[in-house]
């Protein structure tokens, strides 16, 4: 499998969340391209000088490139395994996506937004751009990654057909480093309850029935997943929540002490099928934990 790691120069200093997380996830037979896009020159004024400008610009760009290549080499060494540095010029989001498309990558991994969510949302972030625009699954790493700590994840699913495909994709990506996966699904109990007066009285409440169905589906999914993950290495649990989906995710992440949230990219309303689902968008941009948005 092919991973495109979007790297910035700061990563050369080590202790980068995304490098740590990738190492801990241990994707099977991963080839990693450590891609850095040198942003277009921001210095102004030089270009108006007809004599010096081209030479100075070329020189500056070359210097940037060399510096970046050196930095990427360091990241590659830290990452280890089958990886190589790639340095290009241009807008980071665009370059990353283009490189991923050209090389048929399966996953784009980058650091999540470091700035606060509101700032990131307003000023634009590479993470947000990728989550919206990429055709591949996207891994956003946040927070310090301790290598020795077991990696626990929450897998949020609505059991829609798309979500099922995403789960199949996840087994292809095969992150062997996850020790514990909590399969989470949520349903709007309050709203169903509010509509119960429209129904004839029934001994089996619709909310109870939906909860049972989700539990059965969670168990089926766990069975499917545990066929792919090593039973000695990865354990599973099922969780059905009646909270609002974002609250449910936050609660599950907290209670299971998980560091990684895994979810499918699309929702199942018509509009959400066409674009990125609102849940995955919100979670990937605003959440404080690492997020793996799976695309099928």
Partner 1 sequence: MVQVLVGVDRETAPVVPLLKRLDLPYAHYELAHTLSAADYLSYGIEGARTPDEVESIVSSENRHARQLVESAARLLPQAKGDVLFGHPTEALLRRAEVLHAELVPVNASHARSEGVAALTGSVARGVAMGAHQSVLIARSSLLHKADDLPLRAVFATDHSEYANRCLETLIELAPRGISHLLVMSVAPELDLELLDRELPELGVSIAASVRQALERRSEHVAKRLSQEWPKVTIETALYTQPIHDAIDRALDQASAELLILGAKGHSLLERLTLGSVSLHQAIGGPCSVLILRHPD
213 counts as binding partner 1 under rule CB under 8 A: yes
199 counts as binding partner 1 under rule CB under 8 A: yes
242 counts as binding partner 1 under rule CB under 8 A: no
| Nearest to partner 1 of 62, 269 (CB atom) | 269
166 counts as binding partner 1 under rule CB under 8 A: no
| DSSP β-bridge partners for residue 84 | 33
188 counts as binding partner 1 under rule CB under 8 A: yes
**What angle separates helix 245-255 from helix 278-286, to the nearest 10 degrees?**
50
243 counts as binding partner 1 under rule CB under 8 A: no
Binding segment toward partner 1, per CB under 8 A, in 55-63, 113-121, 146-154, 181-189? 181-189
Which H or E element spans position 178? strand 178-186
Tell me the chain's radius of gyration from C-alpha atoms.
22
CB of 189 to partner 1, least distance (A): 11
Phi then psi dihedrals of residue 14, to 5 deg:
85, 175
Q: Which is it for the CA torsion 177, 281, 79, 28, positive or negative? A: positive
CB of 95 to partner 1, least distance (A): 35
247 counts as binding partner 1 under rule CB under 8 A: no
Size of the site for partner 1 (CB under 8 A): 30
Q: Which parts of 80-205 fold into alpha helices (H)?
A: 92-102, 117-123, 126-133, 161-173, 189-195
Site string for partner 1, 108-147 (x = CB under 8 A): ----------------------------------------
Give, in order, the Cα–Cα distances in Å from 212 to each of 217, 243, 245, 284, 293.
9, 16, 18, 29, 27
Pairwise CA distance, residues 214 & 11, whole Å: 41
CB of 279 to partner 1, least distance (A): 10
Binding segment toward partner 1, per CB under 8 A, in 1-9, 23-31, 103-111, 186-194? 186-194
Instruction: Tell me the two tokens of residue 41.
Output: 């020159």
| Nearest to partner 1 of 92, 277 (CB atom) | 277
Which residue in 44, 191, 227, 231 binds partner 1 (CB under 8 A)? 191
Q: What is the DSSP letter of 233?
A: T
Instruction: Tell me the two tokens of residue 220.
Output: 């089926």
Pairwise CA distance, residues 232 & 230, whole Å: 5
Report 251-290 residues binding partner 1 (CB under 8 A): 267-269
Q: Chain centroid to CA 253: how far? A: 15
| Nearest to partner 1 of 191, 230 (CB atom) | 191
3-state secondary structure 108-134: EEEECCCCCHHHHHHHCCHHHHHHHHC
Which residue in 185, 234, 241, 280 binds partner 1 (CB under 8 A)? 185
Binding segment toward partner 1, per CB under 8 A, in 54-62, 146-154, 199-207, 222-230? 199-207
| Nearest to partner 1 of 176, 213 (CB atom) | 213
Binding-site ranges for partner 1 (CB under 8 A): 157-160, 163, 185, 187-188, 191-192, 195, 198-204, 206, 208-210, 212-214, 216-217, 267-269
């Amino acid at each position: 499998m092919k991973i495109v790691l979007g790297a910035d120069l700061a990563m050369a200093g080590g202790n980068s969340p995304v490098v740590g997380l990738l190492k801990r996830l241990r994707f099977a037979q991963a080839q990693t391209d450590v891609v850095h896009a040198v942003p277009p020159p921001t210095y102004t004024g030089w270009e108006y000088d007809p004599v010096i400008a081209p030479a100075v610009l070329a020189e500056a760009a070359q210097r940037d490139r060399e510096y970046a290549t050196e930095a990427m080499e360091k990241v590659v060494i830290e990452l280890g395994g089958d990886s190589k540095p790639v340095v290009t010029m241009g807008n980071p989001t665009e370059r990353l996506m283009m490189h991923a498309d050209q090389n048929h990558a399966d996953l784009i991994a980058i650091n999540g937004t470091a700035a606060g969510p509101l700032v990131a949302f307003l000023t634009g972030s590479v993470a947000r751009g990728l989550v919206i625009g990429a055709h591949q699954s996207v891994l956003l790493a946040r927070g310090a990654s301790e290598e020795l700590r077991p990696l626990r994840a929450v897998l949020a699913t609505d059991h829609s057909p798309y979500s099922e495909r995403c789960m199949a994709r996840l087994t292809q990506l095969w992150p062997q480093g996850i020790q514990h996966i909590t399969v989470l699904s949520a349903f709007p109990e309050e709203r169903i309850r509010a509509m119960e007066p429209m129904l004839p009285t029934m001994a089996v409440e619709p909310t109870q029935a939906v909860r049972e169905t989700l539990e059965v589906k969670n168990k089926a999914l766990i069975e499917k997943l545990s066929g792919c993950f090593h039973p000695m290495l990865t354990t599973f649990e099922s969780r059905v929540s009646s909270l609002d989906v974002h609250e449910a995710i936050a609660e599950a992440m907290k209670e299971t002490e998980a560091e990684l949230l895994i979810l499918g990219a699309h929702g199942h309303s018509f509009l959400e099928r066409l674009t990125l689902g609102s849940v995955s968008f919100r979670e990937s941009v605003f959440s404080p934990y690492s997020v793996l948005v799976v695309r099928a």
